[in-house]
Structure 1
């Protein structure tokens, strides 16, 4: 008999693997989040064992819908194509079947920024927005999610736009602000260049800015002059888990 519990989201990051069941009516965690350090080295086999540990922890509440798992990399048809902050053995690794075998459960594997974008669309800063929503996460690099009329266009990788001869994230990521000791005003000049280019290429209806630095959005977003409304993300570090659970629950739609 089918078990109608809650969809589970698991967010794999460079330092931690975090998971929780999610109530999709509210977009809230339905139980206390579990976190386990990302193994070193973070090979597919080692990370899969930790993902299984997190999934087993919620065995009594999780339902029979797929488990949503995020990865810091491009994912096409279950194959990981890039690896940011995780072991290079993930490159071109057919991860979805391996994870399904280890977890003995149907899963959906998704890029972490895409999952965050989906969460912000359904429960956060972009809730109810029609048209083209662009989410960018300013962190170690710049992650992105493109969503048009509620539909995710996966693996956009807009942090790698070439601007003035540079990969955009090597100039405008929040890690670069820290590394170079830039003030918010100095950093905003670089962000202006980045978001102006994004705007000229895509003409979005809304830009959502995530990543840890978004908690200080009032220090830099008001300095940007754009046609497009630009707002801070609201779900912070919960977004990956929530978006993964939402995508898992709707996998067969």
Structure 2
């Protein structure tokens, strides 16, 4: 029987659990609102109980991968800092889980790293190289580098925080193109009376993305700006790592047809032919399940 894995994608909104096989097929999927677990006043215990419940329902599972949105220890055993889930700060998570489930192997990593390794193993793109940069455009700007088929961890385990590169206006890339920035840019343009179908009331980034795909003038302007910022961030990252393949993932990637133009303009302006002649930037292929599939792929380390 093909081995199956439990992939857990921890997000600020939902915690998703999925059973994944070696081919990257998502066999079952459930999700729990993160806030409900936080409201228990014992988030970690509630989280561990959800994992135990899954393992009870799936007794054949022997390996569990967990992707979390923040900083983790270099040895991949503890969470260090989660801005959106502070209950997760400085928790020896794997020790807690291994004590409760001594026959199960647990694997932990940052969510962008997990999505990157998921793309390596399960990508629908052909001939995925063993070296690539992975950028995920979501709440913020997540990023990872896969070098020689392995997650690049850096000196203390938390390399590739590309979202914190300072861009030309003095703000970080994330401050310029995260979900909050996208909404703020759109609201500013709406208030100036620019032509748009968007409504200021209860505006969120999903609405701006959707409007962009329908060529709404304000939304298009917003994502043209996102393209410039992404280009600036990529220039620095490509220069440092000298990698020619880049995957772009995350919900905001739906607007990539607009983002691409200004991104390429920035790359062409700032990178010599040495980089540009080989550069291959394409959309990631795993969609909304990238977190679960990536978390499951963490289990392959010792296969």
Task: Please identify which structure carries the higher strand content.
Answer: 1
Could you say what the CA RMSD is over the residues aligned between the two structures, in angstroms?
2.6
Summarize the Cα distance change of 1:40–1:20 in structure 2 as closer, same or farther, 3 Å threshold. closer
Identify unmatched segments of 5+ residues in structure 1: none
Q: Which residue of 2 aligns with 1:120?
A: 119
Trace 1:1-253 onto structure 2 (pairs within 5 A): 5-25=3-23, 27-31=24-28, 33-38=29-34, 39=36, 41=38, 45-54=42-51, 56-57=53-54, 59-61=56-58, 63-76=60-73, 77=75, 78-87=77-86, 89-102=87-100, 105-124=104-123, 128-154=127-153, 155=158, 156-164=160-168, 165-181=170-186, 183-225=222-264, 226=267, 227=276, 228-248=279-299, 250-253=300-303
Whether contact under 8 Å (1:19, 1:35) holds in the other structure is: yes
Note the alpha carbon deviations across 1:71-120, whole angstroms, 9 max, x for none: 11122221212213112x42222221123334553311111111111111
Distance 1:172 1:8 in 2: 32
Distance 2:54 2:90 in 1: 29
Most deviating of 169-178 and 15-24: 169-178
Most deviating of 103-112 and 207-216: 103-112
Summarize the Cα distance change of 1:86–1:127 in structure 2 as closer, same or farther, 3 Å threshold. farther
Per the normalisation by structure 1, the TM-score is 0.86
Task: Please identify which structure carries the higher helix content.
Answer: 2
Most deviating of 213-222 and 238-247: 213-222
Larger radius of gyration: 2
Distance 1:168 1:72 in 2: 17
SS of residue matched to 2:139: coil
Count of residues paired in the alignment: 247
Distance 2:40 2:114 in 1: 22
Per the normalisation by structure 2, the TM-score is 0.73
